[in-house]
């Protein structure tokens, strides 16, 4: 029995550096993609095996990244698809920066994510339908960006979603009303001049009209 436990611990030891390297590489890809005038990412040193020693990064007991807290950090640049490799990430906090470009579809692979906060940036493009894979998501705040296109109907599958805010964008089409969306008020969607109001099941087709 003792021999089996030692083997198991040795196996975990062998796996841990690989996970740390993979997650460190993913975070360093973000560092390379953004401008950081206040050097808040200065501690993100790719020569260190363990990214859990970096500022603004929180890890669990197995040295897997669970939080990324970079709200109001004066960062500019683009989000990177490599962030989708942070398999145990629960909180992605990048609000109140000057991020541009699209939301990577790869963020839909963050199956542990509880909170996605990208509000008050200059993010463009559509809301990825892949976010509907985030079954643990409770908070989705994308307000005050420059997002376009329809609100993905697939997001109504997010049963745990408690707060949704996509206000102050340039979204279009109708507002889904099924599933978790049935409890969200008008405030979640205001200041999207091209939104046509709630979808009326059986009366207004979701995909009617030109919407890009």
**Whole-structure pTM value:** 0.87
8-state DSSP, 120 = S
8-state DSSP, 81 = G
C-alpha 139 chain-centroid distance: 10
Binned at pLDDT 50, 70 and 90, residue 4 comes out as very low
C-alpha 10 chain-centroid distance: 33
Angle at 33 between CA 165 and CA 112, to 5 degrees: 45
Give the DSSP per-residue string, 32-73.
Answer: HHEE-TT-TTTT--TTSS-GGGSTTEEE-TTS-EEEEE-TTS
C-alpha 123 chain-centroid distance: 12
Q: How much is the mean pLDDT over the chain? A: 89
34-70 tens-digit pLDDT: 999 999 999 999 887 789 999 999 999 999 999 999 9
Give the DSSP per-residue string, 130-189.
Answer: GGGG-TT--EEE--SSEEEEEPPGGGGG-TT--EEE--SSEEEEEEP-SGGGGG--GGGT
Tokens standing for residue 54: 């970096």
Q: Would you say residue 7 has pLDDT above 50?
A: no
132-168 tens-digit pLDDT: 999 999 999 999 999 999 999 999 999 999 999 999 9
């Amino acid at each position: 029995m003792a021999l089996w436990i030692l083997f198991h611990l040795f196996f975990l030891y062998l796996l841990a550096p690989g996970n740390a390297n993979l997650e460190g590489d993913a975070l360093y890809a973000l560092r390379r993609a953004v401008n950081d005038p206040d050097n808040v990412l200065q501690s993100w040193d790719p020569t260190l095996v363990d990214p859990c020693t970096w500022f603004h990064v929180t890890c669990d007991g197995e040295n897997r990244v669970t939080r990324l807290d970079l709200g109001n950090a004066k960062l500019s640049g683009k989000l990177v698809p490599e962030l989708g490799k942070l398999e145990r990430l629960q909180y992605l906090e990048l609000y109140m920066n000057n991020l541009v470009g699209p939301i990577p579809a790869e963020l839909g692979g963050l199956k542990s994510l509880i909170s996605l906060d990208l509000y008050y940036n200059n993010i463009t493009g559509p809301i990825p339908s892949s976010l509907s894979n985030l079954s643990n998501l409770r908070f989705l705040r994308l307000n005050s960006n420059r997002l376009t296109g329809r609100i993905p109907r697939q997001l109504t599958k997010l049963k745990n979603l408690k707060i949704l805010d996509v206000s102050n964008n340039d979204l279009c089409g109708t507002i889904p009303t099924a599933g978790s969306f049935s409890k969200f008020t008008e405030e979640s969607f205001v200041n999207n001049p091209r939104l046509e109001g709630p979808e009326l099941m059986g009366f207004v087709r979701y995909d009617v009209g030109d919407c890009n």
